[in-house]
Amino acid sequence: MANQKKKQSFAEDARPRFGAVVGLLLLAGVMLAGTSCSSSSTSSANSLTSDQRAALNEAAEAFDNAESSLANSLEATNTVPKFEHWQEAETLHQQALKALRDGLPSGACRSSVEALLVIEDGQNVIRLRLIENYRQEKFGLVAEDTKDYGLSVLNGARQAEAAVGTACGRSSVDSAANPSNPTILNGDQNALFDAVVAAYDATGVAFDEALPLTDFVADVEAAKVLEVEVGKELDEAITLLGDGPCRTSVIELRAIERQQEELREAIISAGKSGNTVAMFTKLGEYSAVNSTSVAFTTARESVVTNCGFDI
């Protein structure tokens, strides 16, 4: 049961980690926003000095470097098969839950297992949608799927699993907690519970193989280093630009980058401490300023319009 105890010590459940890890990995940097270091030939670009154009170009290149780093981390051909293996493990877990339900008489215990299965069915929909969006590299949608999945765990699955433990007198996720209950369950029913717990443990193993927490923290920290360079180049461009619409647009983009920096730091801290609730809270905050957000997209388009550069 080493794996089960490891899962419990992190956040009471292996599955909340999935949502945190994927979502925060995706949101750690520029989220493959399609940045480009090529400048346009508009009058805005032509009105800049060579030093100003060079500074903006270096900022765009810094964005591209950050994007390339995330592209390596998020490469779909490596990641999707691991997600699919994890989904297969979840399917087996749900099959074991259905067998348990079918082996129980009417009453509070069976009802609690049925309620847990409803949560599991909803998570299947989200998980399969997430896998498909990841396969198509629609990372903005993946981030939303991740958030939805994580919240379904925090606000549904954990409570449903606890309810099973109360109604049935033993846990469906931890064989060390009340390993058998002859008062409520007979021998065959306890055996069905054992199968559920074993299948649940397998989902944790599959998850750990797909996205271990240590790799997540390392990837976010690596993205943070690259984003420091982005901020540095934007600051240099702001210093060189004269007052006017171009400088104002870059300042607005830089302000959003600073918000992202603060949230990345909070995300890393929460990830290292295993604070799942804090990670999802910061994930929600990040969604308002990530590189697919209205705020970021608007600021970036303003730079294109006023400076003649696609940063």
In one letter, which amino acid is 144?
E
d(CA 246, CA 45): 9
Can you give the pLDDT at residue 201?
Answer: 93
Give yes or no for residue 139 having a pLDDT over 70: no
Residues constituting the chain: 311
d(CA 152, CA 23): 14
| Least reliable range by pLDDT among 22-36, 77-91, 297-311 | 22-36
Q: What is the mean pLDDT of residues 117-134?
A: 92
Q: Which residues pair with 309 in a beta bridge?
A: 39
pLDDT, mean over the chain: 80
- In 3D space, the residue among 53, 22, 50, 25 whose CA is nearest the CA of residue 37 turns out to be 53
Q: Tens digits of per-residue pLDDT, 231-272?
A: 999 999 999 999 999 999 999 999 999 998 898 888 788 878
Counting residues of the chain whose pLDDT is more than 70, the rounded percentage is: 76
d(CA 106, CA 101): 9
d(CA 142, CA 240): 38
Q: Which residues pair with 135 in a beta bridge?
A: none
Counting residues of the chain whose pLDDT is more than 90, the rounded percentage is: 41
What is the dihedral sign for C-alpha 34, 257, 56, 241?
A: positive
- In 3D space, the residue among 225, 228, 220, 192 whose CA is nearest the CA of residue 93 turns out to be 192
Can you give the pLDDT at residue 70?
Answer: 60
Are 291 and 233 within 8 A, CB to CB?
Answer: no
Are 110 and 104 within 8 A, CB to CB?
Answer: yes
Can you give the pLDDT at residue 280?
Answer: 61
Q: What is the mean pLDDT of residues 151-175?
A: 91
Can you give the pLDDT at residue 223?
Answer: 76
Residue 96 tokens read as 């074991």
Which letter does DSSP use for residue 242 in this model?
Answer: P
Q: What is the mean pLDDT of residues 211-222?
A: 71
